[in-house]
Structure 1
Amino acid sequence: MAGRTDRGNRGRTRGPLASVPPAPAPGRMRSSPPPVGRVWDRYLWVGSLRPGAARRASRRIKTVLSMERAIILLSGGIDSAVTLWWAKQQGWDIRPLTFDYFGRPRREHDAVLALTSRIGTGPLRRVDLPFLKEVDDLRKEGFENRRLLDSPEGYIPGRNLIFYGLAGHYAELDAVRYIVGGHNGIDPESFPDASPKFFNFLNSVFHLSLWSYDASPVQILVPLSGKSKDNVIRMGLDMKVPFDVTWSCYWDREVHCGTCVSCRERRDAFAKVGVEDPVAYEA
């Protein structure tokens, strides 16, 4: 009927049709593969291949198409570095993701850049979250829940709920199969949003909330779950993770302070493993 748009073009006006290039003259049909720059065409163009070559090309197509995408949440510390190397060993297409919250040490971001450069990943996605603050920073603004005054050092209300919610958003946009986080077995003792129960719950939430989930499911993986810090370091040493470029300190300094909770945890873990920590400390 006049005045109505079709379902596929609802609310849009029809534009002019694109011009169609003329057909090539007889005898001048292209018989060579497309240019090298068109990667997918290189794999899909099998018209002039002999049967054996065509089968090999078909196998290459399946390999490329079956490569799973994975978002890796990176902080620049030991756990996220080991998680990144673990994910790379799975043969996935790595999509690194990092969040800049209020007061985040600049050295953490430097570490993330160094790690992704060393291992070779896709472009780093950096999300700015200036409203997200640690409880110690929120004291200056004031808050009504006085129980938070007893929260552990470095606690940010709802941090992983926000981080993984955003990761789920990007995962659905980019057809990513896995979201991988570096949370070890000690983290849940201080942070409830780092527990296996929490991540199992989030996986259920993704199932219920992502529109394309049935066709393109998204799953959170926590490969370091249940592991102590020293076991994480052993795992990283086996994979040759460059711990010298990681950053664990809560403070933004030239070298690790050596006295904050994170620094002490790191030093103790390396001591248990019996290897020298490759980073310097002030104290």
Structure 2
Amino acid sequence: MSKIIAVVSGGIDSVTMAYHLRAQGHELHLLGIDYGQRHRRELACARLAAERLGAPYEEADLGGARGVLRGSSLTDPSVDVPDEGHPGGAAAGGGVAVPGRPNIVPNRNALLLSAAFALAVVERAEAVAFGIMAEDIGPSDTSLEFLDAFLTMERIATRGHAHPDLDLVAPLSRLLKREVIALGDRLSVPFADTWTCFRGEELHCGRCASCVERREAFVAAGVHDPTVYAAPAVAAREA
């Protein structure tokens, strides 16, 4: 049993991760991070998850970084969130979208993990937990290589201040999205109180890449999706 700083966005993956770690008997301290994201309402879901788990919750305000994270539809109000299957990300009012990758926030995970490790030092936690899943693992800041390198850096940066065995864990990294949902279902994760949509409006839009992935994963897992979507599923994806 360890004391763990769990980076929880309020989405399915990170909330399921928190429930999974609690079921394993770990002491949790949840950290939500406002980095200027358009879908900031996810943080209310992170806070609610902490309340239900009886765990402390803190929120790091990095919203001032929004200006240097321009070009992403998630942080730049001048860039539209594209519908899944469309290159999208059209800029309005002079904004410039990241070519072909409008939903990518440059270096985001390094920002989130830096805040988490700072809190780990303060709380004398033994680990930081990050909720990436198998489909997230890519060539950049979602790669296992990145996580290994980041941990090496943090052990140097916090030497003499942090727990001597400080670790970085990604307990869902071998699971596909449908497997994460199946795990969450077994753990009675309240999926209706998680947030996925990049647009951050009153309802999940049902059209952005994140909403489409959410819908398809529930179907693949054979688990009831309690989410209310503003738009119906695309017929081709229902077939």
Q: Scaled by the length of structure 1, what TM-score is found?
A: 0.69
In structure 2, the partner of 1:185 is 134
In structure 2, the partner of 1:14 is none
In structure 2, the partner of 1:231 is 179
Residue 217 of structure 1 deviates from its aligned partner by: 2.6
What does residue range 195-210 of structure 1 map to in structure 2 within 5 Å? 195-210=143-158
Q: Is the 8 A contact 1:69 1:92 kept in 2?
A: yes
In structure 2, the partner of 1:100 is 34
Q: Distance in 1 between matches of 2:170 and 2:7?
A: 11
Amino acid of the structure 1 residue aligned with 2:187 = M
Matched, 1:161 2:110: yes
In structure 2, the partner of 1:173 is 122
SS at match of 2:141: helix
Equivalent pairs, count: 211
CA RMSD of aligned residues (A): 2.1
**Which runs of 5 or more residues in structure 1 are unaligned?**
1-66
Q: Distance in 2 between matches of 1:112 and 1:252?
A: 14
Matched, 1:280 2:214: no
Q: Is the 8 A contact 2:197 2:210 kept in 1?
A: yes
Matched, 1:69 2:3: yes
Matched, 1:117 2:84: no
Q: 1:72 to 1:215 in 2, by over 3 A?
A: closer
Amino acid of the structure 2 residue aligned with 1:273 = A
In structure 1, the partner of 2:209 is 261
Aligned identity (percent) is 30
Residue 248 of structure 1 deviates from its aligned partner by: 0.5
CA deviations 1:147-190 (Å, max 9, x no partner) are x4232x4211111111111211111122110100110011124x
In structure 1, the partner of 2:87 is none
Residue 134 of structure 1 deviates from its aligned partner by: 5.3
Matched, 1:127 2:60: yes
Is the deviation greater in 169-178 or in 104-113? 104-113
Q: Which protein shows a greater Rg? A: 1
Is the deviation greater in 90-99 or in 207-216? 207-216
Q: 1:142 to 1:266 in 2, by over 3 A?
A: closer
In structure 2, the partner of 1:150 is 100
Matched, 1:271 2:219: yes
Amino acid of the structure 2 residue aligned with 1:103 = Q
Amino acid of the structure 2 residue aligned with 1:174 = E
Q: Distance in 2 between matches of 1:196 and 1:261?
A: 23
Q: Is the 8 A contact 1:73 1:80 kept in 2?
A: yes
User: RCO greater where, 1 or 2, for CA within 8 Å and sep 6 or more?
Assistant: 2
Q: Scaled by the length of structure 2, what TM-score is found?
A: 0.81
Amino acid of the structure 2 residue aligned with 1:78 = I
SS at match of 2:216: helix
Q: Distance in 2 between matches of 1:141 and 1:127?
A: 30
Moved segments of 4+, more than 6 Å: 138-143
In structure 1, the partner of 2:169 is 221
Residue 238 of structure 1 deviates from its aligned partner by: 1.2
Q: 1:215 to 1:114 in 2, by over 3 A?
A: closer
Q: 1:234 to 1:149 in 2, by over 3 A?
A: same
Question: Which residue of 207, 226, 240 corresponds with 2:188?
Answer: 240
Q: Is the 8 A contact 1:172 1:216 kept in 2?
A: no
